[in-house]
Structure 1
Amino acid sequence: MAGSGGDGGALARLLARLAVLAAIGCLAVLALTVGRGGLEVIAAGLLGLVLGAAGVWWFLAYRGLVRLFGASLAIAAPAAVLVLYAFDGLWLTALVLILCWAAALACARAALRRAGPARARETVAASRPARPFLVMNPKSGGGKVGRFGLVERAERMGARVVLLDPSAPSDVTALAREAVAEGADLLGVAGGDGTQAQVAAVAAEHDLPFLVICAGTRNHFAMDLGLDRSDPTRCLDALTDGEELRVDLGDVDGRAFVNTVSFGVYADVVQRPEYRDDKAGTALTVMPELLVGDRVRRLDARVDGTSLASQQALLVSNNAYTSPDALHGSGRRPRLDGGELGLVAIRVGSAAQAADLAVRGSQSGALTVGTARRVEVTADTAEIPVAVDGEALRMATPVVCTLRHRALRVRVPRDRPGVALPAPPVDWRRLVDLALGRAGRTAVRWPRTW
Structure 2
Amino acid sequence: MGVDTSAQVGHGKRWAARAALVAAALAVLLPLGYGGVDGVLLLLAALLGVAVTAAALWWALTRRGPLRWVAAVLAAVAPGAVITLFAVTRLLWAVPVSLALWAVAVWSGRYALRSDRTRAPRPKERRAPPPRRPFLLMNPHSGGGKVAKFGLREKAERLGAQVVLLDPDQHQDVTALARAAVADGADLLGVAGGDGTQALVAAVAAEHGLPFLVVCAGTRNHFAMDLGLDRDDPATCLDALTDGVELRVDLGFAGGHPFVNNASFGAYAAVVQSPAYRDDKIGTILDLLPDLLTRQRGPRLTARAGDTTLDAPQAVLVSNNPYRTDDPAGLGRRERLDSGLLGVLGITVDSAAEAAVLVLDPAPDGLAVLTTREVVIDADRAEIEAGIDGEALVLPAPVHCRVEPGALRVRVPRERPGVPEAQPPLDWRRLRTLAATMGRTAVVRHPGRGRDT
TM-score normalised to the size of structure 2? 0.90
Is the 8 Å Cα contact of residues 319 and 335 (structure 1) preserved in structure 2?
yes
CA gap of 1:7–1:189, structure 2 versus 1, over 3 A, is farther
Offset of residue 279 of structure 1: 1.7
CA gap of 1:14–1:127, structure 2 versus 1, over 3 A, is farther
What does the per-residue CA deviation read over 1:45-83, in whole Å, with 9 as the maximum and x for residues that have no partner? Answer: 011011111111111111111101111110111111111
What does the per-residue CA deviation read over 1:219-253, in whole Å, with 9 as the maximum and x for residues that have no partner? Answer: 10000000001111111000000000100000111
Q: 1:305-344 maps to which residues of 2 (within 5 A)?
A: 305-323=307-325, 330-344=331-345
Pick which of 414-423 and 402-411 moved more. Answer: 414-423
Q: Distance in 2 between matches of 1:312 and 1:25?
A: 40
Q: Distance in 2 between matches of 1:8 and 1:239?
A: 42
Offset of residue 415 of structure 1: 0.5
Is the 8 Å Cα contact of residues 300 and 312 (structure 2) preserved in structure 1?
yes
SS at match of 2:44: helix
Is the 8 Å Cα contact of residues 265 and 316 (structure 2) preserved in structure 1?
yes
Give 1:443's aligned residue: none
Q: Distance in 2 between matches of 1:23 and 1:337?
A: 36
Give 1:64's aligned residue: 65
CA gap of 1:112–1:281, structure 2 versus 1, over 3 A, is farther
CA gap of 1:27–1:47, structure 2 versus 1, over 3 A, is closer
Q: 1:252-291 maps to which residues of 2 (within 5 A)?
A: 252-291=254-293
Q: Distance in 1 between matches of 2:97 and 2:361?
A: 23
CA gap of 1:117–1:55, structure 2 versus 1, over 3 A, is closer
Is the 8 Å Cα contact of residues 324 and 331 (structure 2) preserved in structure 1?
no
Offset of residue 100 of structure 1: 2.4
How many pairs are equivalent? 434
Q: Distance in 1 between matches of 2:393 and 2:366?
A: 26
Offset of residue 399 of structure 1: 0.4
Give 2:43's aligned residue: 42
Give 1:170's aligned residue: 172
**Is 1:381–2:360 an aligned residue pair?**
no
Offset of residue 303 of structure 1: 0.9
Is the 8 Å Cα contact of residues 261 and 386 (structure 1) preserved in structure 2?
yes
SS at match of 1:308: strand
Is the 8 Å Cα contact of residues 188 and 213 (structure 2) preserved in structure 1?
yes
CA gap of 1:204–1:296, structure 2 versus 1, over 3 A, is closer
Is the 8 Å Cα contact of residues 319 and 340 (structure 1) preserved in structure 2?
yes
Give 1:445's aligned residue: none
Q: Distance in 1 between matches of 2:172 and 2:327?
A: 32
CA gap of 1:8–1:175, structure 2 versus 1, over 3 A, is farther
CA gap of 1:7–1:131, structure 2 versus 1, over 3 A, is farther
What does the per-residue CA deviation read over 1:368-387, in whole Å, with 9 as the maximum and x for residues that have no partner? Answer: 11111111011111001100
- One-letter amino acid of the structure 1 residue matched with residue 179 of structure 2: R
Offset of residue 353 of structure 1: 0.8
Give 1:141's aligned residue: 143
Is the 8 Å Cα contact of residues 324 and 369 (structure 1) preserved in structure 2?
no
* Residue of structure 2 aligned with 1:119, choices 114, 121, 145: 121
Offset of residue 28 of structure 1: 4.2
CA gap of 1:31–1:284, structure 2 versus 1, over 3 A, is closer
Is the 8 Å Cα contact of residues 325 and 331 (structure 1) preserved in structure 2?
no
Q: Distance in 2 between matches of 1:353 and 1:104?
A: 29
Q: 1:285-304 maps to which residues of 2 (within 5 A)?
A: 285-292=287-294, 294-295=296-297, 297-304=299-306
CA gap of 1:144–1:5, structure 2 versus 1, over 3 A, is farther
Offset of residue 432 of structure 1: 3.3
Q: Distance in 2 between matches of 1:338 and 1:13?
A: 32
Is the 8 Å Cα contact of residues 319 and 338 (structure 1) preserved in structure 2?
yes
Offset of residue 15 of structure 1: 3.5
Q: Say which one has the larger Rg.
A: 2
Q: Distance in 2 between matches of 1:151 and 1:404?
A: 31
Q: Distance in 2 between matches of 1:281 and 1:432?
A: 49
Q: Distance in 1 between matches of 2:6 and 2:28?
A: 31
What does the per-residue CA deviation read over 1:389-433, in whole Å, with 9 as the maximum and x for residues that have no partner? Answer: 000000000001000001100000001000102333211123334
Offset of residue 93 of structure 1: 4.2
Is the 8 Å Cα contact of residues 266 and 313 (structure 1) preserved in structure 2?
yes
Offset of residue 308 of structure 1: 1.0
CA gap of 1:437–1:280, structure 2 versus 1, over 3 A, is farther
Percent sequence identity is 55
SS at match of 1:277: coil
SS at match of 1:74: helix
SS at match of 1:274: coil
Give 1:156's aligned residue: 158
Offset of residue 291 of structure 1: 1.3
Give 2:428's aligned residue: 428
Q: 1:195-214 maps to which residues of 2 (within 5 A)?
A: 195-214=197-216
Give 1:220's aligned residue: 222
Q: Distance in 2 between matches of 1:313 and 1:330?
A: 17
Offset of residue 187 of structure 1: 0.6
Give 2:78's aligned residue: 77
TM-score normalised to the size of structure 1? 0.91
CA gap of 1:156–1:64, structure 2 versus 1, over 3 A, is same
Q: Distance in 2 between matches of 1:374 and 1:104?
A: 38
CA gap of 1:225–1:8, structure 2 versus 1, over 3 A, is farther
Q: Distance in 2 between matches of 1:207 and 1:247?
A: 13
Superposition RMSD in Å:
2.3
Give 1:23's aligned residue: 24
Q: Distance in 1 between matches of 2:96 and 2:212?
A: 51
Give 1:240's aligned residue: 242
Offset of residue 114 of structure 1: 6.1
What does the per-residue CA deviation read over 1:119-147, in whole Å, with 9 as the maximum and x for residues that have no partner? Answer: 33211111011111111111110111111
Structure 1 portions without partners, runs of 5+: 441-450
Pick which of 101-110 and 241-250 moved more. Answer: 101-110
Give 1:446's aligned residue: none
- One-letter amino acid of the structure 2 residue matched with residue 332 of structure 1: R
Give 1:397's aligned residue: 397
CA gap of 1:412–1:94, structure 2 versus 1, over 3 A, is closer
Offset of residue 278 of structure 1: 2.2
CA gap of 1:7–1:63, structure 2 versus 1, over 3 A, is farther
Pick which of 410-419 and 75-84 moved more. Answer: 75-84
Q: Distance in 1 between matches of 2:267 and 2:251?
A: 24
